[in-house]
Structure 1
Amino acid sequence: MHPADQFEAFKKLAEERGLGAEEIAARFGVTPHVVRQRLRLGAVSPRLMQIYRDGDLALDQLMAFAITEDHARQEAAFERLSYNRDASTIRRLLTETHVAATDRRAVFVGAEKYAEVGGTILRDLFTEDRGGYFEDVALLDMLVLAKLGREADAVMEAEGWKWAQVFLDYPHSHGLRRLYPQTVELSPEDQAALDAVKGEFDNLTAQHESDEELADEVDARFGELEAEIERLEAKRLAYDPADIARCGAFVILNHDGTVRIERGFVRAEDERQELDARGVSGEGEGGEASDEDGATRPDGAGRESLDGEEDADDEKPLSDILIRDLTAHRTLGLRLALREQPEVAIVAVTHALLAQIFYRGADAHVVDIRPTSTCLASHADGIEDTKAGKAWADHHARWAAQIPRDVSGLWTFIVELDHDSRMALFAHCVALTVNAVKLPTERRPRAMATADRLAEAVALDMTAHWRPTARSYFGRVTKPRILDAVREALSIEAAERMADM
């Protein structure tokens, strides 16, 4: 008997005799899930079922078509197939207009709320579909914007901002000046509470210093204390009430489906004339990126052939988009490492200046002294929400909170800093200009080589700033590439154990 006969027989039992999956399963000694799978296969387009009977479709391909019960869509997807009839390709064709349940929009809204208002979810009975696929994308987007709008209203009501604007992604080209919170003293009550929490944290640390493993309740208490310390410390930074009254906030959907709020932006119409000369301008990483190129191009001197270097790039094991993504993360790592090593920052600046003065057009510098700052978020999705991205934003915000609001007092502020603080500020500003992002449209072999030297000089450890995940790396490279990495990092045996996965 052909397997298709069984699929169709199960379908007849369900449709003609009204038997449920559990009853059919009991009669045939299989699980209800197996019955549901076969019922779904029996509902595949008769045309495709006949092709399966004729041997021109494999079972895994038929399973892929069964992700939907719409015969017209199944047949349309079949017509679009070329030489590549892999099951994953078929599933992709049938779900390309849907949104996966793991998508940030789906996570933010939730399957329950989406279904409550009439949204349908496509489920795959044959693979791990991680929650299925949301079919009504327009409805989902409407729910996302509505929920973000409620979050924006709550922020305005709770904090007093003049406006709050909703975006799915951070609007890097907004062009608005940004004000940062200023350092303030904690109230006596908050300071007392902070001292008490820190005291308990220190006592708990001393009590369990020698424990190899913490009990669950102790570990939970540590987490509570750390969260409370962070909450109280955050009160040391506060916006001026006058700024809150004329500034606004962006309410943004994070890549992980959580809400992100960026505060302190001033619209042009809300700018007061007496503040025109004041100077804290920051767009997350110190301002909008600039692509202006003021370097003088050479007439030929000082530019040896790069043919060899370019040829070496021809056979790349990684895609251009992934290289851009990874080098964006590496650039962020370089920035974080460089800001902590002022002496290396001075070397980097000196190198950049000399490279542009004496070797015009050589393009060998990795520190762009103009200064300009490349927006890394446009090269690596979600980089601002990473631990490293948040650490950089925190460093930048702390300096912004310390410098005077009026630019006329900036020189005095810098002069009055002690040597270490001044050098740390200098390193932070230099680190902001690091650009080691490798783009497919650019040829900067010398700059990439300089990035390597800089990484060696600051002893860059990317394990402190980045972790490979399915989303950030493994889901975007080939299986042989993953196995090569396992061989190098672990062993040949470990790679061989994974080879059939």
Structure 2
Amino acid sequence: MNALRSDFTASPEVIGLDDLYLSPLNPRQTHDEASIALLADSLVTCGLMQNLGGYRDGEGRVGIVFGGRRLAALRIAVARRPDLAHVPVALAPDEDTARLWAESENIAREALAPADEIRAYGRMRDSGATVAQIAQAFGVTEAHVYRRVKLADLPPFVLDALAAGKIGLGIASAFTVSQDTELSQQVLARVLSSSWALSEHEVRKMLQPEAVGLTDRRVRFVGEEAYVAAGGHLTRDLFSDAVFFEDVGLLDRLFAEKLEAAAEAERSREGWAWARKVDQSYFGSEAMDDLLGRGFARVYPVPVDLSEEETEEYGQLADLDHEGELDEAGEARMAELDAKSQAYLPNQKAVAGVCLYVDHSGCIRQMDGLIRAEDVPAAVEAGVIEARSTSAQTEAPAAPKSPYSGALVEDMKAIRLAAVQTALLDCPEMVLNLLAFGLSTASGVGTSIFDLQPGCPMNAPKEREGLIFSDRLAHPPRSYEAWSRPDLRCDDLVAAFREFVEQGKKARNAAITEGIARTLPYAAAEPDFFAMIEADSGASIRKVWTPTAANFFGRVSGAYLDDLFVSLIEAEASDSRVKAFRDKKKKEKADAMERLFGEPEYQAALGVTADQKARIAAWVPDCF
């Protein structure tokens, strides 16, 4: 046997069908007639996408050693497509190579590229072939054909990008949610120009920028059936159960109309003086405080005696609830009796109303017993509430308005968090103790001490002036553009991990300390525990932050600055320094306070004592 030509590369030659025959070397000597007929249909529709392979004999004819099924199908298809009378054939240089080709053909076949498959299946589908016929013709499963055929209607430029290897099947699949060719072109351009890999979810979001999904509270409240009946357009993701509601304006109108109707029904059914819808998903204490601050009042239902049987039943249900054995039906019955045990009186409803809103789950909730400012006099006259009362429960004067804006409070919380995180950088043992505690059941089920995703708790205020902020505590940017930076990507996790381990335990422990410290959130829900961490770590806001005109003093009132100045220098109102300060404009006061906190010369000019300097150095606003 001659040595095999391993360096040989066969270039197909175009040869007429009359000069081809099935070589005895070909392991496939018989073929199913039905499958050959289907393959012939495929060849008529799609043409020959893979060449044959053969060996030229002594008479000049070519024996086909691989592609025997295609040869048999070509002899049928040529009657409908004369151009198939001549086909490309790769010729083996010798008989040994031909025999190797014949043997390996039955072991491994090179699959069609995905884009070629999609286009071929699409053409056969368009010509009338069923999925089963396509699967049999190509020797694949029907499920495989179904997945590919779903992509057959993608815009040509998407399939071209897939064929060129510029995008994968997953990204190509994401484009099935869009019917907007121009938008699809724009999104594809963004995908191709991005220096980092966008996820399928991100691409779908870009293709449906205004659409909302099934979890949106408006969708849950209105319902798909009502939306479609009103002419709303849906887009379904062919590769998941996701549904997108594209006509957001229509959805908003249906939402408002349904909630308005529910409010009117509640008013008519219960006899309230008024009922109105509120476009929010939660009606908490802040919303109630806002209403009360605008002159609203509120009344509450009065107790109603239950019957003896109901009272006994309620007691039994309460015992079961206390023992943790109350089932769902029992909970519903207990809630029913709770509602029955109190009710609004007719004279209360005559001057009061109810606000209806839809929560995140799409369910209607309500806040009832509200009295509008203009109805307060009538409510007082009817004896429903007392004169001058803003609430049926209390006549306490309104609390003084906070001198700190909401934005300033949030900035100060971020600064306080940065101070604690900074202190933790120097307390690795405490960090490890906290980490172990947080990961153990000793901290209780559901307790969250650290955001270990890792998350990005806000530890930097909007106004960064005056903040000494370690780069070790900075969070990686979370925007698409920022994540495209090469220094923020990890293309080889294995290599990165090996390199990280080689740095040693000291570097590892420093990374743990840094990472855990950075992910400590501002625990408003557990203020005492956060305060303990703050104290034990030796954290101090003033170690990392100095108040300035830009970051603090310019964001509070002039009156606040007057009082602060007096308290810091311990002066009487008649003091000339106080008088001079009060006569300044707001901006001048803010600048003067900045100098008081940052310029020793200014402190000396004002006669600030050592104790007062210490007070200034330690001062932080009481806004937490």
The yes-or-no answer on 1:319 pairing with 2:459 is no
CA drift at 1:120: 2.3
Match of 2:165 in 1: 55
Match of 2:118 in 1: 7
**Partners of 1:181 and 1:240 within 8 A in 2:** no
Match of 1:245 in 2: 350
Name which of structure 1's ranges 68-77 and 134-143 shifts more when overlaid on structure 2.
Answer: 68-77
1:335-350 correspondence to structure 2 within 5 Å: none
The count of corresponding residues between Structure 1 and Structure 2 is: 312
Question: How far apart are the structure 1 equivalents of 2:211 and 2:140?
Answer: 32
The yes-or-no answer on 1:115 pairing with 2:252 is no
1:42-81 correspondence to structure 2 within 5 Å: 42-81=152-191
Match of 2:195 in 1: 83
Report % sequence identity: 26
Q: Residues 272 and 34 from structure 1, CA distance in 2 versus in 1: closer, same or farther, beyond 3 angstroms? A: farther
Match of 2:328 in 1: 223
CA drift at 1:254: 0.1
Once the two structures are superposed, what CA deviation does each residue of 1:152-179 show, in whole Å capped at 9, x if it has no partner? 1221122111111112305724435242
Question: How far apart are the structure 1 equivalents of 2:115 and 2:339?
Answer: 64
Q: Residues 62 and 166 from structure 1, CA distance in 2 versus in 1: closer, same or farther, beyond 3 angstroms? A: same
Match of 2:368 in 1: 263
Question: How far apart are the structure 2 equivalents of 1:141 and 1:279?
Answer: 34
Any idea what SS the aligned residue of 1:102 has? coil
Q: Residues 50 and 111 from structure 1, CA distance in 2 versus in 1: closer, same or farther, beyond 3 angstroms? A: same
1:475-494 correspondence to structure 2 within 5 Å: none
Once the two structures are superposed, what CA deviation does each residue of 1:156-212 show, in whole Å capped at 9, x if it has no partner? 122111111112305724435242324423143xx422323544786x899xx9xxx
CA drift at 1:151: 1.4
Question: How far apart are the structure 1 equivalents of 2:338 and 2:524?
Answer: 29
Match of 1:152 in 2: 263
Once the two structures are superposed, what CA deviation does each residue of 1:114-165 show, in whole Å capped at 9, x if it has no partner? 2222222222222x44x41111111111111121112112211221111111
CA drift at 1:263: 0.7
Residue identity matched to 1:37: R
Give the greater-gyration-radius structure (CA). 2
Q: Residues 97 and 240 from structure 1, CA distance in 2 versus in 1: closer, same or farther, beyond 3 angstroms? A: same
Name structure 1 gaps, 5 residues minimum: 295-304, 338-360, 362-443, 452-501
Residue identity matched to 1:261: Q
Once the two structures are superposed, what CA deviation does each residue of 1:241-274 show, in whole Å capped at 9, x if it has no partner? 2221111111101011111111122112111174
Question: How far apart are the structure 1 equivalents of 2:229 and 2:130?
Answer: 25
TM-score, normalised relative to structure 1: 0.52
Match of 1:181 in 2: 300
**Partners of 1:177 and 1:281 within 8 A in 2:** no
Name structure 2 gaps, 5 residues minimum: 1-111, 381-385, 406-414, 426-450, 462-519, 530-546, 548-618
Question: How far apart are the structure 1 equivalents of 2:304 and 2:232?
Answer: 50
CA drift at 1:6: 1.4
CA drift at 1:40: 2.9
Q: Residues 49 and 105 from structure 1, CA distance in 2 versus in 1: closer, same or farther, beyond 3 angstroms? A: same
Once the two structures are superposed, what CA deviation does each residue of 1:66-116 show, in whole Å capped at 9, x if it has no partner? 222432221121233432442232112012210011111111122222222
Once the two structures are superposed, what CA deviation does each residue of 1:402-437 show, in whole Å capped at 9, x if it has no partner? xxxxxxxxxxxxxxxxxxxxxxxxxxxxxxxxxxxx
Match of 1:357 in 2: none
Match of 1:104 in 2: 217
Name which of structure 1's ranges 111-120 and 98-107 shifts more when overlaid on structure 2.
Answer: 111-120
**Partners of 2:355 and 2:366 within 8 A in 1:** yes
Residue identity matched to 2:162: Y
CA drift at 1:313: 9.0
TM-score, normalised relative to structure 2: 0.43
Match of 1:192 in 2: 309
Question: How far apart are the structure 1 equivalents of 2:420 and 2:317?
Answer: 60
Once the two structures are superposed, what CA deviation does each residue of 1:36-61 show, in whole Å capped at 9, x if it has no partner? 43223121111121122122222222
Question: How far apart are the structure 2 equivalents of 1:310 and 1:289?
Answer: 30
Question: How far apart are the structure 2 equivalents of 1:292 and 1:137?
Answer: 40
**Partners of 1:181 and 1:237 within 8 A in 2:** no
Match of 2:512 in 1: none
Residue identity matched to 2:364: V
The yes-or-no answer on 1:233 pairing with 2:233 is no
Any idea what SS the aligned residue of 1:264 has? strand
Match of 2:82 in 1: none
Question: How far apart are the structure 2 equivalents of 1:67 and 1:239?
Answer: 51
**Partners of 2:304 and 2:343 within 8 A in 1:** no
Which of 268, 272, 276 in structure 2 is aligned with 1:165? 276
Q: Residues 32 and 143 from structure 1, CA distance in 2 versus in 1: closer, same or farther, beyond 3 angstroms? A: farther
1:349-364 correspondence to structure 2 within 5 Å: none
Question: How far apart are the structure 2 equivalents of 1:322 and 1:279?
Answer: 38
Question: How far apart are the structure 2 equivalents of 1:222 and 1:147?
Answer: 33
Cα root mean square deviation, aligned: 4.4
Once the two structures are superposed, what CA deviation does each residue of 1:331-365 show, in whole Å capped at 9, x if it has no partner? 45779x9xxxxxxxxxxxxxxxxxxxxxxx9xxxx
**Partners of 1:160 and 1:244 within 8 A in 2:** yes
The yes-or-no answer on 1:278 pairing with 2:397 is no
CA drift at 1:321: 6.1
Any idea what SS the aligned residue of 1:229 has? helix
Residue identity matched to 1:255: H
Once the two structures are superposed, what CA deviation does each residue of 1:195-235 show, in whole Å capped at 9, x if it has no partner? 23544786x899xx9xxxx9xxxx8x832233212211223
Match of 1:132 in 2: 243
**Partners of 1:161 and 1:248 within 8 A in 2:** yes
Question: How far apart are the structure 1 equivalents of 2:421 and 2:314?
Answer: 60
Residue identity matched to 2:389: R
